[in-house]
Amino acid sequence: MFFFRKKSKEASTSAAPPAKIVFDDRNLDPLLHYVEHYSGVNLAPKKEVLKQRLVLFCENNDIVSFDALFARIKADEAMRQSFINLITVNETYFYRETIQLEAAVAWLKERGGKARVLSAPCASGEEVYSLSMLASEAGFAPFSVNILGIDINSEAIQKAQKGVFSERSLHRLDEHLKGTYFMKIAGEYAIVRSRFLGVDFQVLNIFDDAFLRLEPFDIIFSRNMMIYFDDVFKQKTIERFHKLLKNGGRLYTGHADLVPNTPLFTKVTQGRLSYYEKV
């Protein structure tokens, strides 16, 4: 348990001592349980670090306890979204684990025809744009590879849609790629939209019913999301991906994602590269 003095207008103007607001961290547990049920994200290991950020979040939203925060999150969709935006980790960059991206594009090239790829989650979109750039470099015609990026974090999706990135996010790209796919504006890199036809983004929770209503995909990329899930939610996640993949479709996961054993997929390893093929 810890105590926090809420800043309030009355407190600064009246002579009476400010009221003590109590944030009892035992009251956090139902909230963390709800967040896991809603998004899969298991915040329990981060509880200590998270507490301070949540108190600040409450202060900024005039919420006086973790119980009240929980009630608001359940009842108010906008508040729930702000909370999800606060607790999700959106770290990503262009050409991350390029070996997987290249292998996926090479496979699509081999098969020929049109293809649909899902990046779930895409965070601020670098994975989606990277796949699109690799497809262009491999000679795919515009719109022959459609890539949808989804993420539960609405701010990340807004950034993806805006398509303006920092030098740091592009650190793996050479001058040819930067010059072909971006315009440098005020020290940042804005995508050249005409180079990214067939790319789309959507705010979507993979546990939402609407997720399963997406059209089937040839490839799903799901990298660095399941690391935040426990085994039960990892299992649920791969079952959902299985439903959304076409027969023989491929699932690429991050090295740290540790997919549980499942009869739904066959794991294929080729040197440093591995992926899951839908059974």
Ligand X SMILES: C[S@@+](CC[C@H](N)C(=O)[O-])C[C@H]1O[C@@H](n2cnc3c(N)ncnc32)[C@H](O)[C@@H]1O
The answer to whether 205 contacts ligand X (rule: CB under 6 A) is yes
Quick one: CA dihedral 233, 234, 238, 239, positive or negative?
negative
Q: What part of residues 102-121 is at the interface with ligand X (CB under 6 A)?
A: 121
Q: Which of 127, 130, 170, 173 binds ligand X (CB under 6 A)?
A: 127
Q: What part of residues 5-64 is at the interface with ligand X (CB under 6 A)?
A: 39-41
Q: How far is the CB of 140 from ligand X (least distance, A)?
A: 21
Q: How far is the CB of 64 from ligand X (least distance, A)?
A: 28
Q: Please count the residues of this chain forming the interface with ligand X, following the rule CB under 6 A.
A: 23
The answer to whether 89 contacts ligand X (rule: CB under 6 A) is yes
CA 99-142-205 angle, 5° bins: 65
Q: Which of 224, 238, 241, 278 binds ligand X (CB under 6 A)?
A: 224
The answer to whether 258 contacts ligand X (rule: CB under 6 A) is no
Q: How far is the CB of 60 from ligand X (least distance, A)?
A: 20
Residues in the site for ligand X, rule: CB under 6 A? Answer: 39-41, 88-92, 96, 121, 123, 127, 151-153, 156, 205-207, 223-225, 254
